[in-house]
């Protein structure tokens, strides 16, 4: 794709909304509350805020600047910049969304199924199929065809937006979904705060408790890992989205706003989740992942009486929007990579990515049911892919930092930040960026990698 033919955002707000929408996903809604509860409430939150505004901004600025500088997606950006030997980083960064997106869309399909169930409950009344959330969830994911159909529906929803293009599809979809998501999240948090007994849960969430957090090292790693995955780093997304960015828009200001929006929703999710869990099911306060989203919270919604189905409906609508915005960004990163690498037009690239997503997604969709016997490394397919990508992602991020800090050079990244016509970042930020990208960031990202390896292989030590 020639530079002159490349799509672009209509403005900085459109870019920030799209990038923030990518960052705000399921990780904000189910992993952040769990980690905050596990690692000392306010201790974890404060650590997360500091890391997001330092390491998070440095990594975002790096990826966005590389994308805008090259005007290419991650698959060819390094080559376009004249560093063909480093293009393997872009290939690895393309592999990550290609493997994450299919199983992520399976989870998106679960959200679609729950949303349909709560819509039926809210508008039809009665106890419904979610009377026993645990049995409902286990029965659904092990069903012969239902998980695959739900995944295909969710994938189709993402693909419709991608087919419409960058401005008419992604940009307009985010313009609707992001404000709606924020309004629903705030409304739910306010509603939870008005419930009798919510104060205890809010204190549990916000007040620092060093007795719960264990070692400071684990708090630091937990916050850093959450920040890392929440911001959609090392997946090629921010490089691709940066390649659509106008030269007149500020890279640094955009990065700060993306981090701010993502952090706001992450912290807000704790206000939605932790107080009701403490009130109604305190034993599950440190439950992570699917167990929190699809079993623990539905149990709590059932205990809210007549309001329960409506709260569940609003909550899973919010979750659907969060899942969709992230899926759309991963899909776009893959489509742009195929377009740039193979020099294909957009429609054939979309078709190829769509077929890949559904085909590989089927492996994860059937992984708890008809293809249960397929368990690489003793894990269901979905969990295997998740573990593998959680190890590969920090590898790509560390390599990107080494490339930006030592091959391309931080001065060229900072020069790209000044191309908006302004004076650019301050001297203090310039020095801070150089030190971070050359020395600090690679070490911190390597620590995440070690932690993930410990977790996946159950080594212990610094696993989180």
Q: Give the residue from 52, 17, 398 showing the smallest Cα distance to 178.
A: 17
pLDDT tens profile 26-47 = 989 989 999 999 899 999 999 9
* Residue 6 banded pLDDT, cuts 50, 70, 90: confident
3-state class of 227 per DSSP? helix
Question: Please, are residues 102 and 365 in contact by the beta-carbon 8 Å criterion?
Answer: no
| Span 168-193, average pLDDT | 96
Q: Give the residue from 285, 242, 235, 313 showing the smallest Cα distance to 25.
A: 235
Q: Where are the domains of the chain?
A: 3-373
Task: Give the pair of three-digit tokens for residue 403.
Answer: 């490339």
pLDDT tens profile 320-351 = 999 999 999 999 999 999 999 999 999 999 99
Between CA 455 and CA 464 the distance in angstroms is: 6
Helix axes 146-163, 346-365, angle to 10 degrees: 160
pLDDT tens profile 15-25 = 999 999 999 99
**DSSP labels, 382-394:** HHHHHHHHHHHHH
Between CA 146 and CA 456 the distance in angstroms is: 29
pLDDT of 1? 47
pLDDT tens profile 110-164 = 999 999 999 999 998 655 568 889 999 999 999 999 999 999 999 999 999 999 9
Whole-prediction pTM value?
A: 0.95
Between CA 177 and CA 411 the distance in angstroms is: 37
Residue 460: other Cβ atoms inside 10 A = 8
Task: Return the DSSP state at 458.
Answer: T
pLDDT tens profile 270-294 = 999 999 999 988 888 877 778 889 9
Name the one residue in this structure whose structure tokens are 């080594």: 459
pLDDT of 461? 63
pLDDT tens profile 54-63 = 999 999 999 9
pLDDT of 331? 98
Task: Give the pair of three-digit tokens for residue 334.
Answer: 């893959």
| Span 225-234, average pLDDT | 91
**Buried-exposed string 91-118: b where 16+ CB fall within 10 A, e elsewhere:** bbbbbbbbbbbbbbbbbbbbbbbbbebb
pLDDT tens profile 130-145 = 888 999 999 999 999 9
pLDDT of 240? 98
Q: Does domain 3-373 have CATH number 1.10.940.10?
A: no
pLDDT of 212? 80
Task: Give the pair of three-digit tokens for residue 267.
Answer: 């912290």
């Amino acid at each position: 794709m020639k530079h002159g033919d490349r799509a672009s955002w209509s403005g900085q707000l459109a870019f920030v909304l799209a990038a923030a929408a990518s960052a705000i996903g399921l990780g904000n809604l189910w992993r952040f509350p769990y980690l905050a509860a596990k690692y000392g409430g306010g201790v974890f939150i404060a650590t997360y805020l500091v890391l997001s505004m330092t390491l998070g901004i440095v990594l975002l600025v790096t990826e966005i600047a590389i994308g805008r500088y090259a005007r290419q997606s991650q698959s060819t950006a390094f080559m376009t910049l004249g560093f063909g030997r480093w293009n393997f980083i872009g290939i690895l960064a393309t592999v990550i969304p290609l493997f994450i997106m299919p199983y992520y869309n399976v989870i998106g399909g679960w959200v679609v199924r729950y949303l349909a169930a709560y819509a039926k409950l809210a508008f039809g009344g009665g106890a419904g199929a979610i009377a026993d959330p645990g049995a409902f969830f286990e029965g659904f994911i092990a069903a012969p065809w239902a998980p695959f159909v739900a995944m295909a529906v969710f994938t189709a929803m993402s693909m419709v937006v991608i087919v419409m293009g960058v401005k008419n599809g992604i940009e307009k979809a985010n313009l609707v979904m992001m404000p709606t998501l924020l309004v629903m999240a705030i409304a739910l948090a306010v509603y939870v705060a008005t419930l009798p007994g919510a104060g205890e849960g809010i204190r549990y969430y916000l007040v620092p408790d060093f007795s719960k957090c264990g070692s400071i090292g684990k708090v630091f790693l937990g916050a850093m890992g959450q920040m890392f995955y929440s911001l959609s780093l090392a997946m090629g997304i921010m490089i691709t989205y940066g390649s659509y960015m106008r030269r007149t828009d500020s890279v640094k200001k955009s990065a700060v706003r993306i981090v701010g929006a993502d952090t706001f929703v992450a912290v807000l999710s704790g206000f939605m989740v932790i107080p009701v869990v403490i009130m109604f099911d305190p034993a599950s306060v440190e439950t992570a992942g699917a167990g929190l989203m699809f079993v623990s919270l539905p149990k709590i919604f059932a205990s809210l009486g007549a309001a329960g189905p409506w709260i569940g409906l609003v909550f899973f609508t919010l979750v659907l929007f969060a899942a969709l915005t992230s899926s759309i960004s991963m899909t776009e990163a893959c489509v742009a990579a195929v377009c740039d690498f193979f020099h294909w037009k957009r429609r054939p690239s979309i078709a190829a990515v769509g077929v890949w997503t559904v085909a590989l997604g089927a492996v994860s969709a059937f992984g708890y049911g008809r293809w249960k016997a397929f368990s690489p490394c003793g894990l269901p397919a979905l969990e295997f892919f998740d573990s593998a990508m959680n190890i590969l992602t920090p590898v790509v991020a560390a390599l990107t930092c080494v490339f930006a800090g030592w091959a391309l050079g931080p001065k060229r990244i900072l020069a790209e930040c000044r191309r908006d016509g302004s004076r650019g970042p301050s001297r203090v930020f310039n020095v801070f960026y150089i030190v971070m990208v050359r020395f600090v960031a690679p070490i911190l990202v390597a620590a995440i990698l070690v932690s993930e390896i410990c977790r996946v292989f159950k080594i212990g030590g610094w696993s989180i």
